[in-house]
Structure 1
Amino acid sequence: MSPTVRTDLILSHARITADVTAPFDHVDVAEWLRTLPTHEYQRCAPGDHKAAGYTVDDDGTPMSINVEMIGTGLVVQQYRFETAERDYCKMVSLSDVLTPSGWTTTQVIWELRMERLDGDSCRYTNTVTSHPTEDFLDFVASQGQTFEDAAAARQEASERHCRVETPLYARSIARHAAEATTN
């Protein structure tokens, strides 16, 4: 299995926004990710989100571990925090994907941004970009599928998934910020 990521190819890309009322001065997306309980993660995409956790990699880099269904694939994401700020996080994962035909890998880049629009009016932007690995390209070819067909299916599934989770993530981050004002 090759961990070589093909950044020249895009398997899927979704950028969805949701407006929410939140005390922006108490928004902390990085802290929300580090403390996100599994059941709250599940509420953010009912039926698709299976489990979430927080750990560190061998080198001490913080990681968010997420297990979810994207279309027909069970995706195990091991997100490394590349950027962890109060209003913006960039997470990168070499993810394992269990499909009906077996295991493969993809790279997933997840960006979470909360911006103040006016007062406590905020906009959450959920961006998810996936690149194939060489392993993924070999896997789809062995199934008699083209990359273009696999990308079209993944694009549809990812966009549908992000449309569900984005407004629920926004509300969860807003609740987390509101709770921080009372502590």
Structure 2
Amino acid sequence: MSVLIRDDLVLSQAVVTADVNAPFEHVDIEQWLKTLPTHEYQRCAPGDHKAAGYTVDDDGTPMSINIEMIGTGLVIQQYRFEVATPHYCKMVSLSDVLTPGGWTTTQVIWELGMEQLQDDQLRYVNTVTSHPTEDFLKFIIASGQTFEDAAAARQQASGEHCKLETPHYARSIANFAKARAAEATA
């Protein structure tokens, strides 16, 4: 089955940062994602994050599976690792969304990056961009919504969600780096 993603339309985009202290050389976002326990994922957005896991796609591409509430939608994300490095990961998902009006799909691009400001002062950058699918556009038309109204609602919900999760992600990644540093000196 082929899904047409409308990357010419932006449903929502959020870029949120959080500063933390951790040894930059021990930051490994790729490994953090691959080993993120469900309960730690839940702590990163209390009430919104439901479950996380790691698997591979049929072609062997690593995948992060995330289930979360964004606004009134239950989102099941199947993120494929498109870029995976210690300081930057780009994840792309064709996500299933259960709304009060039924199921639809969107594409979600999640970018996680850690920048070194000075010494152990770091800045985590959490970027989430969503594009509609043709299925989504048909879904909102059938429910009597315009794209502009759907995008405004998604922008608000996604923006609030990213503001909630970003500082928690930053601390979790920093704690993961500190634990790796402690293991290296043990």
The residue number in structure 1 matching 2:60 is: 60
The residue number in structure 2 matching 1:46 is: 46
User: Which runs of structure 2 are paired with 1:78-157 in the superposition (5 Å)?
Assistant: 78-157=78-157
**1:105-154 CA distance string (max 9 Å, x none):** 00000000001000000000000000000000000000000000000000
The residue number in structure 2 matching 1:181 is: 181
Task: Measure how far apart 1:52 and its partner are.
Answer: 0.2
Task: Measure how far apart 1:3 and its partner are.
Answer: 1.4
* Aligned-partner residue type, residue 162 of structure 1: C
**1:31-86 CA distance string (max 9 Å, x none):** 00000000000000000000000000000000000000000000000000000000
The residue number in structure 1 matching 2:34 is: 34
Counterpart Cα distance in 2 of 1:120 and 1:70: 32
* Aligned-partner residue type, residue 136 of structure 1: F
Matched, 1:7 2:12: no
TM-score of the aligned structures, taking structure 2 as reference length: 0.97
Counterpart Cα distance in 1 of 2:23 and 2:170: 12
Whether contact under 8 Å (1:75, 1:95) holds in the other structure is yes
The residue number in structure 2 matching 1:158 is: 158
* Aligned-partner residue type, residue 177 of structure 1: A
Give aligned pairs, total.
183
Counterpart Cα distance in 1 of 2:134 and 2:176: 39
Between 152-161 and 2-11, report the one with greater CA deviation.
2-11
Task: Measure how far apart 1:181 and its partner are.
Answer: 1.1
TM-score of the aligned structures, taking structure 1 as reference length: 0.99
RMSD: 0.8
**1:84-114 CA distance string (max 9 Å, x none):** 0000000000000000000000000000000
Whether contact under 8 Å (1:2, 1:133) holds in the other structure is no
* Aligned-partner residue type, residue 130 of structure 1: S
